[in-house]
Copies of this chain bind each other. A is one copy, B any other.
């Protein structure tokens, strides 16, 4: 077929005549005009984030408006956008707001708008095949290998987040260490039960991975932590020895780089040495903490991470890529691929659009995979890793700043030494009982959230309710930290009166109940 023939065929076909023939806009200029109007709204929303409440409840009538009946007839894009602006945009969780301190959520970037705009227009499926988006994902994975000093020969996959990354990694470890072909045979006929190890502070997704994969939560031994909330290395080794004696097959250890409660980092260097000696797979859950490697100040705390067999972490937390975007790296690429491949021959290269082997779907459970790599690639290129690392250092500086304010405050106390970016503290009034103090801090958290001033979250540290402030937000400044402490001071009397009334009422009711 000559070039001329091809060009002839490439001549645009006459557009369909009646509007119903395509879902495309009848008038592209009008469509562009509408998009620009929405873009103005969206940009204003982002640039004015400081002037809104950090969080507010979703009103009942808004919920009802969202829960509309099945849309059979077209409402048009303009109508739908109006609904978004009225019913969704004002009632977000608040993680883009500088005083959102709840849980470990990233805050996103403005540039992310542009990345997602392009991704939406391309509508790429990254399951596999031969197209440029695949090379973007490979590049992002190569960058991650460099960041964490993993060998060039290792493999990786972008996933929704660390929960999924942990599941993929434990699946690879399971299959690699299992004496039978798990994919073919399953686990039912194993003569020895496979067991893994993690600390009591590890994230619930590690246990969920064991459940999902048919290993069973009971087979994930929860090892106690030391006073820095790191896995107790002695206890780990004792448990491994005990399990071997009892006829179990130890196969993996899941270390944590940044526990969810207080950002503790396990001693990864020692874990790697133990795993080498015991021939165990070392997986590291570095959901947010792993990215601290970008900060000069904290890189040393992660020493040993480069010795892990697999590593899970998120882009949507501490480097502010939009939700969702996480990654798993696996040192042994062939072990990774052989846990998920569906074609036998790695090198049986198809041609044309079906080329591009190995496909990403051979490294995880998903075949349909959106182009989340673009927003990761975009964020890293737009800002550069040095700037992203500096923001991580800055978040940790603010955490220490808050820790100091707490230390100096007559009614506040830190419940754990500030590690990285998380501060767990509480309001303390000497006259109150332990139960009353818990209630007081619960009320404080709730009232803070309801005020819209700030969104901390709640956890328990040594069995005491803690106000937990997590700093993974590039918009947060010292002023925001000061506003948080001021708001606590202003809200404390109201919280206290609720608690005292609550306890008085419960006293009042006690006689009634016992006589009932």
**Is B6 a contact partner of A453 (Cβ separation < 8 A)?**
yes
Q: Give the residues in chain B near A68, CB-CB below 8 Å.
A: 139
Name which of A31, A90, A126, A219 has the most chain B CB atoms within 10 A of its CB: A31
The answer on a CB contact under 8 Å between A342 and B160 is: no
B215 lies within 8 A of A186 (CB): yes
Q: Check if A110 sits within 8 Å of B187, measured CB to CB.
A: no
When C-beta atoms are compared, the residue in chain B nearest to A14 turns out to be B479
A38-B117, A387-B74 are known contacts. Are A58 and B214 too (CB-CB below 8 A)? no
State the Cβ distance, A411 to closest chain B Cβ, in Å: 16
Establish whether residues B139 and A67, one from each chain, have CB atoms under 8 Å apart when the complex forms: yes
Asked if A92 and B216 make an inter-chain contact with CB atoms under 8 angstroms apart, the answer reads no
The answer to whether A39 and B50 have CB atoms under 8 Å apart is no
Residues of B within 8 A of A408 (CB): none
Interface hub of A105, A353, A490 (most chain B Cβ within 10 A):
A353
The reply to whether A188 and B190 contact each other, CB–CB distance below 8 Å, is yes
Query: Which of A127-135, A232-240, A302-310 is found at the contact surface with chain B?
Result: A127-135
Contact call B110/A161, Cβ cutoff below 8 A: no
CA distance A380 to B80 in the complex (A): 10
Say if the beta carbon of A400 comes within 8 Å of chain B: no
- Cβ of A10: which chain B residues have Cβ within 8 Å of it? 51-53, 452-453
Q: Does A24 contact B (CB under 8 A)?
A: yes
Residues of B within 8 Å of A67, CB to CB, are 135, 138-139, 142
Q: Does A402 contact B (CB under 8 A)?
A: no
Query: How would residues 349 to 363 of chain A score, 1 for a CB under 8 Å from any chain B CB and 0 otherwise?
Result: 001111000000100
User: What is the chain B residue whose CB lies nearest that of A479?
Assistant: B13
1/0 per position for A5-33, CB-CB distance to B under 8 A? 11001101110100011111100100110
With contacts A184-B217, A390-B20 taken as known, whether A71 is within 8 angstroms of B384 at the C-beta atoms is yes
B83 near A381: Cβ-Cβ < 8 Å: yes
Q: Does A45 contact B (CB under 8 A)?
A: yes
Interface residues of A in 216-231 (CB under 8 A from B): 216-219
B23 in contact with A146 (CB, 8 Å): no
**Chain A residues with a Cβ closer than 8 Å to the other chain, count:** 192
Tell me the A350-389 residues at the B interface (CB within 8 Å): 351-354, 361, 365-371, 374-375, 378, 380-388
Chain A to chain B contacts (Cβ below 8 Å), 28 pairs? A1-B487, A9-B487, A9-B490, A10-B51, A13-B50, A13-B480, A23-B383, A32-B43, A34-B114, A58-B130, A58-B131, A67-B135, A70-B143, A79-B381, A80-B111, A84-B378, A88-B118, A88-B133, A93-B130, A93-B353, A113-B120, A116-B119, A120-B375, A161-B366, A182-B211, A204-B342, A214-B214, A324-B369
Q: What chain B residues lie within 8 Å of A486 (beta carbons)?
A: 9
Question: Interface with B: A263-271, A419-427, A442-450, A505-513, which one?
Answer: A442-450
Segment from A274-282, A315-323, A431-439 that makes contact with B: A315-323
B449 contacts A353, C-beta separation under 8 Å: yes
Closest CB-CB distance, A131 to chain B, in whole Å? 4
Q: Identify the interface centre among A53, A121, A193, A446: most chain B CB within 10 Å of its CB.
A: A121
Contact B193 A188 (CB under 8 A): yes
